[in-house]
Structure 1
Amino acid sequence: MTAIFATALGPILAANTLTLSVWFNMNFTYVALLTGYYLLGVGFAAIFFVPSGRIWGKRHLFIIGTIILIFSSAWGGASGKSYTSLLWARIIQGVGTAPFESLVNAAVGDLYFVHQRGVRMAFTNLAVFGGAFFTPVVVGKITHTIGWSWTFYLVAIFTAISLFGVIFLCPETSFRRDTRLNTDMAADSGRESTSQDEPEKDVGPYSQTTAIEAGSAASTASSRPKKTYTESLALFDGRKTDESFFKLLFRPFPLFAQPAFLWATLIQGTMIGWTVFIGVILAAVFLGPPRWWSEVETGYAYVGPFVGAVMGFAIAGGLADWSATWLTKRNGGVYEPEFRIFLVIPQLIFGCMGLYGFAVTSQGPYHYVVPIMFFAFEVCGMVIGAVASSLYIVDAYRKYNTHLLALSNCFQASSV
């Protein structure tokens, strides 16, 4: 739930562009920069949060991020006539969002076996992107009824409520795990690994065998006692890796040169960057001539991309595990992480159709439904691409999977 509120902050100003332009007596460019600097905060903070998550786990970052979001959202609503104050509030909001942008997908890899990740990764991305695109639908009405500042105040209120859920219902997902439980990777038999160690070689068939092996390993797992509920509420419970913070801090940058990470960054970051760009110009497209929409109508236009996010979830969720299972059978029962790349085919179809279609129809003599429909297709392709790249990196490079979103966030910030 907190991840939904966090990622919803990105496009929260999409329906408010004209309102804020008049409020601050500035042109659209300065209002668009409020989203750009928000993404800058996300990308900057992710660089530091990723190594912290690898060393001390994800729970403390989810809690800290939620607290930052409460404070910064209240700050944004109270910024009044000060554009500079709102700008800094947006930057700090980006900092609070970074743990949810960078670590939620990695948590899926912590919690589920290979053959269980497809649908869950798709659902995670639906929660993130669906929440982001549903937000402007209600923001336009909120702005028109009680003022734009309440779009921030309401986020602060609901995020404060969800903080209790994060504290009491979100235990740590990273831990030092017995090697036998890492059934989707090979490791030295005498070494205890972390929950995100890099696979040296894929070793298991993509089938029920993985779950059977896991059950057998779990039944003979180490004798460490299970944590009590009270113990699970601790902010920290020890290191998850012996690697140094600074080594992990600078690791994402050389990963740009690694083909798999370069591909995953581009396949995810480019589509997300285009989605943000369309969201920024959407107000100019519909608020100006020839349509002259209000912020309420512009907000309702985001029903299209929300439906697109649901479509992306349905397609990615339906194909991710099915396609990997089918390809595994054709590969003699041996699963390869590259089978996840199959999803780029529907991404290519929907993403390109959406981008080119929106460009052609947004200013032409077409009914407003047409560009909104193409925006939905673009978002559909974006969700499928995000699922494909996340699944591939989680399956093939568990040790480095948290760095993918850090790279993607940096790419988005630089592009916007």
Structure 2
Amino acid sequence: MPVMPTKGKSQAQSTSKQLLVNVPTEGDDTAYGQALFPVPAEDPNDPLQWSKVQKTMILIVVCLYSFLGNSALLGVGPYIRLWSETFNVSQAEASTLISYPNLAYGLTSWLLVPLYLRFGRRPVMLGSLLAFIAGLAGCSRATSFNGLLAARIIHCLGAVALCLAALATLPAAYMLPTKYSWRLFFYVILAFAIALFILAFFFVEETSYQRGKLADTGITNEDHDSANAASSQEKPGSSMVEQAIVIPQRKSFLSTLSPWGRVDRTVPFFTLLWRSMTYILVPQVLWVITSFGIIIGLGGLSFNFIFPIKITEPPYNWPASISGIHSVGGVLGFLLAVPFTPTSDILAAYLTRRNNGIREAEMRLGVMLPAMIIGPIGLVVYGLTAQLNLHWIGYFLGAGMASWCGFFYYSFTLAYAVDSYNQNTSEMLMAINVGKQLVSFGLGFKVLDWIMQNSYAAVISAGFGSILLANNMFLIVFMIWGKRIRRFMSTTWLAKLHGRSAGT
């Protein structure tokens, strides 16, 4: 890119570079022929222009935070029986120490997303980490059931979730025979959380960025004509638009450490709270909510409640110290699904080329057909293993199958919803997070009571298996009629509401 002359610039302007750049009109091509959007600005302060190392570091911090948050939520599964005895409550009531904090995740996203849109990502993340740390400290020192429950809710209000953290039940169970018993688990998570806060403070820069139109920089006609002459050698048919912009200097490291973000006073905080909930009325979004909620409630919470109780009783009689090993099955299921991550985009790109370059949101859904059946079969296997006291491998196999299915429905239902409705994506995600936690809470809240009143086969295999199968089969509905549904929704008041509010 040729550097333009700097005639007539003030001393203040001399700290910036004035360039004539070629700006893509629709984005550059990336993997699988998909367009790059948004187009990165020439500003070195644009997060899309940051170094790969910095982007990777932020990703690592976010993933570690997600891992710790979900570890703190689900890792305590092996403690249900102990807490029942310690606090003199039923096992079903002790399980609410997981159910209610799980519900808090939904409220967290509903509140934190408008906050980070208004006040910036960095202060909200650092603040939520402090709440996470405070809640964990409270858990580690709690002496009553209600105190422990309150602290659990606080640390979940400050955290987010991630699939692989279900593995935390394994070390949590091994901590039971130690001097500090279940409190050691919270001490360990607390130590990691403090280290993560320090890491986030130094490496997670504010990522909120205002993408305005590139403005005229006052280049003289002589300069512009010279630049046009120089650029006339570009290949014919280029889709690039020449624009002159001022490129500021990169922020100093010290300035990036400010705890304050970029305040956007145009963000209507309270409007976002109610308007986001209207997305629950959109069929594709509702499918994401039920898919996430059912898999979390039936797979994550139910497995977490049932296995530590079953495996420490006859005929298994395993020690409590290894009662968290069931998480290995779920994690293996996720890991076996990871290689299929790009298949959805690959299939969509292939079908787009066959469709003369016209992309439809439903083109990515075909790869989910095997998962549609495998997940419910996993619940049947798990429930029958518990009912008939079959070989313990059945618990691992059932959990692994359900988790393998879950990876597809976690990843691709959300991608499908975003493809279908890309107005106000942040608000859509708020509705999804609130909705999925409500669904998972409802399915996991009384699961132990339901099982005691009926049976493992009736509740897990027949009941939950049927619910998951019914939800999964909506895949066929959207593959066939998804486009018609989208067209109909585009004519409703919901489309007008979110169309008018896009970008606010």
TM-score (norm 1): 0.78
Tell me the alpha carbon deviations over residues 98-119 of structure 1, each in whole angstroms, 9 at most, x when there is no partner. Answer: xx34xxxxxxxxxxxxxxxxxx
For residues 242 and 297 of structure 2, what CA distance do their matches in structure 1 show?
A: 42
Instruction: Trace 1:13-412 onto structure 2 (pairs within 5 A).
Output: 13-80=76-143, 82-97=144-159, 100-101=160-161, 128-130=162-164, 132-146=165-179, 147-178=181-212, 223=247, 225-240=249-264, 242-275=266-299, 276-315=301-340, 317-395=341-419, 396-397=421-422, 399-401=424-426, 402-403=429-430, 404-412=432-440
1:240, distance to aligned residue in structure 2 (A): 4.9
For residues 169 and 139 of structure 1, what CA distance do their matches in structure 2 show?
A: 29
Relative to structure 1, the CA distance from residue 285 to residue 326 in structure 2 (aligned partners, 3 Å threshold; closer, same or farther) is: farther
TM-score (norm 2): 0.65
1:252, distance to aligned residue in structure 2 (A): 2.6
For residues 218 and 410 of structure 1, what CA distance do their matches in structure 2 show?
A: 50
Relative to structure 1, the CA distance from residue 218 to residue 413 in structure 2 (aligned partners, 3 Å threshold; closer, same or farther) is: farther
Tell me the alpha carbon deviations over residues 247-294 of structure 1, each in whole angstroms, 9 at most, x when there is no partner. Answer: 101123221111121111112221111122221222222222322222
For residues 307 and 30 of structure 1, what CA distance do their matches in structure 2 show?
A: 30
For residues 62 and 25 of structure 1, what CA distance do their matches in structure 2 show?
A: 37
Letter in 1 for 2:168: T
Aligned length: 354
1:225, distance to aligned residue in structure 2 (A): 4.6
> Contact conserved, 2:73 with 2:101, CA < 8 A, in 1?
yes
For residues 58 and 388 of structure 1, what CA distance do their matches in structure 2 show?
A: 26
Q: Percent identity?
A: 21
SS at the partner of 2:399? helix
Relative to structure 1, the CA distance from residue 227 to residue 351 in structure 2 (aligned partners, 3 Å threshold; closer, same or farther) is: farther
For residues 346 and 234 of structure 1, what CA distance do their matches in structure 2 show?
A: 48
Q: Which has the higher contact order (CA 8 A, sep 6+)?
A: 1
For residues 20 and 50 of structure 1, what CA distance do their matches in structure 2 show?
A: 34
Structure 2 segments unaligned to the other structure (5+ residues): 1-63, 216-237, 445-504
> Contact conserved, 1:63 with 1:166, CA < 8 A, in 2?
yes
For residues 413 and 175 of structure 1, what CA distance do their matches in structure 2 show?
A: 35
Tell me the alpha carbon deviations over residues 157-199 of structure 1, each in whole angstroms, 9 at most, x when there is no partner. Answer: 011101122122222333222469xxxxxxxx9xxxxxxxxxx
> Contact conserved, 2:83 with 2:94, CA < 8 A, in 1?
yes
Letter in 2 for 1:406: V
The structure that has the greater radius of gyration is 2
Q: Name the structure with the higher helix share.
A: 1
For residues 138 and 377 of structure 2, what CA distance do their matches in structure 1 show?
A: 40
For residues 403 and 84 of structure 2, what CA distance do their matches in structure 1 show?
A: 26
> Contact conserved, 1:133 with 1:306, CA < 8 A, in 2?
yes
Tell me the alpha carbon deviations over residues 70-113 of structure 1, each in whole angstroms, 9 at most, x when there is no partner. Answer: 11111101113x1111111111122011xx34xxxxxxxxxxxx
> Contact conserved, 1:178 with 1:222, CA < 8 A, in 2?
no
For residues 253 and 166 of structure 2, what CA distance do their matches in structure 1 show?
A: 35
Residue 497 of structure 2 corresponds to: none
1:222, distance to aligned residue in structure 2 (A): 6.4
Structure 1 segments unaligned to the other structure (5+ residues): 102-127, 181-188, 190-211
For residues 398 and 225 of structure 1, what CA distance do their matches in structure 2 show?
A: 32
> Contact conserved, 1:2 with 1:163, CA < 8 A, in 2?
no
> Contact conserved, 2:364 with 2:416, CA < 8 A, in 1?
yes
1:241, distance to aligned residue in structure 2 (A): 7.3
Q: What is the CA RMSD across the aligned residues, in angstroms? A: 2.7
